[in-house]
Amino acid sequence: MNQNPPNQQINVELGEKEAEGIYSNLALISHSPAEFIIDFTRMLPGVPKTKVYARIIMTPQHAKSFLHALKENVGKYEKQFEEIKVYNQAGSQQSIGFSPQQQAGKTK
């Protein structure tokens, strides 16, 4: 059963603090059979330690829906601007900033 029909509008309230946003250049992703956990953090040059600034917990179904929505929006961005290139420090292309983990609840 579809809980949100395609044309239904949803009112979302954005608080002042949340509107500021949180910068993140590193996301640690872990999962259990029941949930996905995404910890957003940021690494700074020369600083070997960081902390989690935001944690999002979602069901596997919502994680997959989020994945599809993110892919769709990246595609729209690249059509409007240009292809997004991701580089590591040596200059070769590869995914950085995301670390898949096997167990939920890992803390660093």
pLDDT digits (tens, 9 = 90+) for 18-58: 999 999 999 999 999 999 999 999 999 999 999 999 999 99
Is 34 part of any domain?
yes
* Residue that the structure tokens 């960081």 belong to: 50
Report yes or no on 76 lying in a domain: yes
10 found inside a domain: no
Mean pLDDT estimate for the chain: 85
Any domain includes 62: yes
CA distance linking residue 24 with residue 15, whole number of Å: 19
108 found inside a domain? no
Answer whether 0.85 is exceeded by the pTM: no
* Higher per-residue confidence, 36 vs 100: 36
Residue with tokens 């670390």: 99
Query: Could you list the residue range(s) of the whole structural domain that residue 71 is in?
Result: 20-88
Strand 36-41 and strand 54-58: pairing? antiparallel
Residue 101 falls inside a structural domain: no
Q: What's the mean pLDDT in 62-88?
A: 95
Q: Which helix (H) or strand (E) holds 46?
A: none
Provide the number of structural domains found in the chain: 1
For residues 37 and 105, the answer to whether their CB atoms sit within 8 Å is yes
44 is written with which tokens? 């700074």
What is the CB neighbour count within 10 angstroms for residue 1? 2
Indicate the pLDDT class of residue 76, thresholds 50, 70 and 90: very high
In a domain, 83, yes or no: yes
pLDDT value for 105: 47
pLDDT over 90 at 67, yes or no: yes
